[in-house]
Structure 1
Amino acid sequence: MKSHPSFSQVAIEGQRNEGESVFPLVYGCQDQAFGLEPFLDWVTENRDALLGSATAHGAVAFRGFATPDVEDFDRFIQALEIENFPYKKSLSNAVRVNRTPRVFSANEAPPEVKIFFHHEMAQTPLFPRYILFFCEIAPLVGGATPLCRSDVLYAELRQRCPEFAHKCEQVGLQYTNVMPGVDDPQSGMGRSWQSTLGVETKEQAVSRLAELGYAHEWVDGDCLRATTPRLPAVMEVRPGQKTFFNQLIAAYCGWKDERNDPSDAIRHGDGSKLDPESVAIAIELAERYAYDHKWQKGDIVLLDNTVAMHARRPFEGTRKVVASLAEMQTHAFDQAGV
């Protein structure tokens, strides 16, 4: 990492020590008069180191820099020189609104809705390697974005629930959700099937689902029930470093609206139900190892989506946190390992 006299690592409230690393790693600007251009030049110059730090630490946060608006955040992303993963090409089930070609609202769900821990799009064959968040307006009360290192969680889960962890590795997971015929912003998973699949007609939807290996069923209200193929529940990020890479907690706890019942949302890849006691321990561990990022205007957080999961606390007042996805990846369950 190339140093800069005005930029340095700083401590932040709630920051955790995980082995030899801090979570998240935080950079602060010591000179408030310092402009945006030198910051962006520093980001580009240290691009590889910053992305490497996101993987090593789980997340890198930036506070106090000259990034007051969404356009500045967009320029920060461009300075990192990472490939855009447009929201419209994702299979995310959240309703979002684009602000720039790279940047969109993090989630349009009402403020009282809690978004549970998850790895972004781990419940689909397509997922982003990196997620970036930016705070445009900080909430009056609540609204933190909790982060949790999934490798730390999984190491303890394997000790406390060895049979459950082994089964997750051996047979993976399958997810089922019912998509509405039109966007439902009152739900944290209310994106329509047309938008999710990038189609206009039911015939196109069926074709797209077949390409992805999904099973499907049309249900009342022009809704579509879709079940994924078997997907991995655990990812080996580096030799010896495994992460609990899935949407188990979010699906089990939070995939609930007028169309969806969490009890039907997720199963093991062999069709068997999850052990509720083991799931409860995974939920407990996620909260135990959570760092809550309490937003300040202009904050940026760079997350390695394969290492750290994220969530959203309910809030009061206006909260505008936007996001960007980068470096589309694919994953599929390795049948040879079964």
Structure 2
Amino acid sequence: MNSLSVNANATVDGQQAYGDSRFPYVFACDDANATLEDTARWVAENREELLRLMRVHGAVALRGFPTSTVEAFDRVVSELQLENFPYKKSLSNAVRVNRTERVFSANEAPPEVRIFFHHEMAQTPLYPKYIFFYCEIPAQSGGATPLCRSDLLFQKLAERCPEFAKTCEEKGLCYTNVMPDSDDAKSGMGRSWQSTLGVQTREEAESRLGELRYSYEWMDNGCLKATTPPLPAVMEVAPGQKTFFNQLIAAYCGWSDDRNDPSKAIRHGDGTPLDSEAVNVAIELSEELCYDHQWVQGDVVLLDNTVAMHARRPFSGTRKILASLAEMRTHALTVS
């Protein structure tokens, strides 16, 4: 530790406790004279501990640090010394705008659009181990970022709907979405097929989809309907600790726009439909277990994407929450 005055026992409204675990774990900077250099040095010196706390608690919040600019957030993320996962290399369907090489807008969807709980990019074969958020401008009202411990959710889901939990774990999930021919910022999942796949032509798109083992169909209006291969719905992140690692809630509740129908967006890996009652239990549990992070300008929230899900509440006014991804991972359903 350096001379920077940091309270490691800080609290925030709504913070949760599960045994010895706090959700989120909070560090508050109490030093009015702290500089960005002090903060960068503190993050670098405490890198291993911050990564451990993310893994154990799911989320770590930094409040009161001198992170008043996007560049300061970029510096904090850089000091964690993790491999950058550029958004342009992801298969996410959200429209986003880069601010630096590693920092981009969290989502360009309109303020009235609710974004439901999900693990970032769990609906694709490529996902980030970590996702970091930063508040440049808090909303005038609303706009909280709900967080949910996915391991706790899966534990409770398995107790209440054991057959559904078992089916999700054994069969995985397939996701279907229709990508537009050009970015549609009015939708939370309006990224074009060219941008999503990193291609320019249909031929290149088909080659990329083949590599990813997606099935697909070209629509008359130039849109591309694509379905993933079976992907895991449950992840064992540590011995005996399983998380509900998927996009089931977001796809079932929120994949709705002029092109997409949520009722057709998701199936089990063998093509069978989901048990709607059990899905509704998962949705209820996510809200029961969630912590709503009420943003303060300069806040940084560090998530282990394999442990904690996130969402977005509707808001009014200007809201600018930025994000950064780190450590690209791959996954595929393994059937024994």
> CA offset at residue 335 of structure 1?
2.0
| Stretch of structure 1 that moved more, 258-267 or 31-40 | 31-40
2:4–2:42 contact (8 Å) kept in structure 1:
no
4+ residue segments displaced more than 6 Å = none
Partner residue, 1:287 = 287
CA distance in 2, matches of 1:284, 1:123: 21
CA distance in 2, matches of 1:187, 1:205: 22
Q: Unpaired segments of 5 or more residues in structure 1?
A: none
The one-letter code sitting in structure 1 at the alignment partner of 2:292 is D
Residues 198-244 of structure 1, C-alpha deviations (whole Å, 9 max, x = no match): 00000000000000000000012100000000000000000000000
User: Which secondary structure does the structure 1 equivalent of 2:60 belong to?
Assistant: strand
Residues 3-52 of structure 1, C-alpha deviations (whole Å, 9 max, x = no match): 75501120110000122200000000111221111111010011111011
CA distance in 2, matches of 1:3, 1:174: 48
* 1:234-249 equivalences in 2 (<5 Å): 234-249=234-249
CA distance in 1, matches of 2:87, 2:242: 27
Cα RMSD after superposing both structures: 0.8
CA distance in 2, matches of 1:228, 1:234: 16
Partner residue, 2:145 = 145
Partner residue, 1:94 = 94
CA distance in 2, matches of 1:135, 1:18: 26
Q: Unpaired segments of 5 or more residues in structure 2?
A: none
CA distance in 1, matches of 2:104, 2:124: 20
The one-letter code sitting in structure 1 at the alignment partner of 2:253 is C
Partner residue, 1:205 = 205
Establish whether residue 120 from structure 1 lines up as the match of residue 84 from structure 2: no
Identity of aligned residues (%): 67
Partner residue, 1:23 = 23
CA distance in 1, matches of 2:94, 2:179: 10
Residues 92-130 of structure 1, C-alpha deviations (whole Å, 9 max, x = no match): 000000000000000000000000000000000000000
The one-letter code sitting in structure 1 at the alignment partner of 2:199 is V
The one-letter code sitting in structure 1 at the alignment partner of 2:124 is T
* 1:209-224 equivalences in 2 (<5 Å): 209-224=209-224
Partner residue, 1:109 = 109
TM-score (norm 2): 0.99
Partner residue, 1:159 = 159
User: Which secondary structure does the structure 2 equivalent of 1:37 belong to?
Assistant: helix
CA distance in 2, matches of 1:99, 1:254: 26
Residues 238-257 of structure 1, C-alpha deviations (whole Å, 9 max, x = no match): 00000000000000000000
Partner residue, 1:7 = 6
Partner residue, 2:36 = 36
User: Which secondary structure does the structure 1 equivalent of 2:221 belong to?
Assistant: helix
CA distance in 1, matches of 2:54, 2:16: 15
> CA offset at residue 157 of structure 1?
0.3
2:4–2:31 contact (8 Å) kept in structure 1:
no
CA distance in 1, matches of 2:150, 2:32: 34
User: Which secondary structure does the structure 1 equivalent of 2:175 belong to?
Assistant: strand
CA distance in 2, matches of 1:163, 1:140: 43
Establish whether residue 329 from structure 1 lines up as the match of residue 329 from structure 2: yes
CA distance in 2, matches of 1:166, 1:325: 30
CA distance in 2, matches of 1:14, 1:152: 17
CA distance in 2, matches of 1:117, 1:66: 30
Partner residue, 2:308 = 308
Residues 49-80 of structure 1, C-alpha deviations (whole Å, 9 max, x = no match): 10110010000000000000100000001111
The one-letter code sitting in structure 1 at the alignment partner of 2:264 is D
* 1:39-50 equivalences in 2 (<5 Å): 39-50=39-50
User: Which secondary structure does the structure 2 equivalent of 1:335 belong to?
Assistant: coil
Number of matched pairs: 335
The one-letter code sitting in structure 2 at the alignment partner of 1:6 is S
